[in-house]
Copies of this chain bind each other. A is one copy, B any other.
Amino acid sequence: MTFDTASLRDPRSKGRHIKACLTQQVLYQKSTGLERFDFVSQALPEIALSQIDLSVSLAGRALSAPLMIAPMTGGDRRALVINHRLARAAQRWGLAMGVGSQRVGIEDRSRARYFELRSQAPTALLFANLGAAQLVKGWGRDEALRAVEMIHADALFIHLNPIQEAVQGGDLDFRGVADRLSRLCEALEVAGVPVFVREVGFGISEQAARQLLACGVSGIDCAGAGGTSWARVESLCADSERERLMGERFGEWGIPTSDSILNVRRVSRSLPLIACGGLTNGIELAKALALGADVGGMARSMLVKACQGEDALNRFIADTLDELRICMFGTGAATVAALRGTVVSCR
């Protein structure tokens, strides 16, 4: 593999993304759609709040709670500080966590150390992360395993983000992507590494879910619209007027998180499913689970709290899990599995 150095990912772009997400209007105007659903309050819960069991398993590993710190960053010093904070929280609370795209760490070995998390989260479920566009360009088994090893990950995310690439004039060729994914899944199954495919926030259609299932993925993160709008982020971080305009125009593009979950579940009742995009508290997390997700992910909400400090982050996670527990108590669900189906669509 050779690389066009000009196309090497600008390591500063991560910093810009984080800054935009912390300080600017990066959210969708359209909602996750979760507000269309209401829990069916159960007046006779027949459970004890203290006995509620939040544990789930994902990628062959046990989590203490159905919550994931979604992939966000990595690859430079500032990102590392935030990621270490997040990793300690993942470890402490028994959550899953992902890192942002490791492309820069693969392309520039000197940057690989800025992805290191294991020191902070010795036993947490960690996901490595590469973009599908790289697969199309020729990356495969080797780079994937290097990414996994780079952070001693337990599983790998391949992220899909065609619209983000399109508005910023990035990688614009996705021909053969399903075929490359199939081959990667096969190769990594041999290596014992589960491959999850994820959107970055434009959602998963029924058709895409069907294709991914056919590719043999171990699971999906169907990150949908209603939270951080990646077209909007790119617009705010744009270098050119044209990118700014395109990002803005496509700021509302995407399948809302609630529809995204339902799309995947229409295709498979059992495929491991993470749901991300616009989750900000434990009630929204609980609704995502009730609609069919196995685990809910949060990116921006976690980032904001991590930047406020370790205490704020821990308090946020504690509150979120308490809210989830109360939702389970209030619907009479003793386990996360029992929570599924406890919502109805309201006016």
In this complex, the interface size class of chain A, counting residues with CB under 8 Å from chain B, is 35 or more
Provide the A169-195 mask, 1 if CB < 8 A to any CB of B, else 0: 000111111100100000000000000
Give A167's nearest chain B residue, CB to CB.
B326
Cβ-neighbour of A330 out of B51, B162, B242 (below 8 A) = B162
| CB-CB contacts below 8 Å: A35-92 with B | 36, 38-51
One of B173, B203, B249 near A281 (C-beta < 8 A)? B249
Q: Does A236 contact B (CB under 8 A)?
A: no
Shortest distance from the beta carbon of A134 to any chain B beta carbon, whole Å: 15
Q: Is the CB of A48 within 8 A of B205?
A: no
How many copies the complex holds: the figure is 4
Further pairs besides A44-B181, A49-B166, A245-B319: 4, Cβ < 8 Å: A42-B208, A44-B174, A44-B211, A51-B175
Are A46 and B255 within 8 A (Cβ)? no
A49 and B172: CB pair below 8 A?
Answer: yes
Contact across chains for B166 and A326 when beta carbons are under 8 A apart: yes
Tell me if B283 and A249 are in contact (CB < 8 A).
yes
Report the Cα distance A310→B228, complex, angstroms.
37
Contact of A204 with B by CB under 8 A: yes
A205 close to B46 (CB less than 8 A): no
Bound-complex Cα distance A254 to B39 (A): 8
Instruction: Pick the residue among B39, B48, B204, B205 that contacts A253 (CB under 8 A).
Output: B39
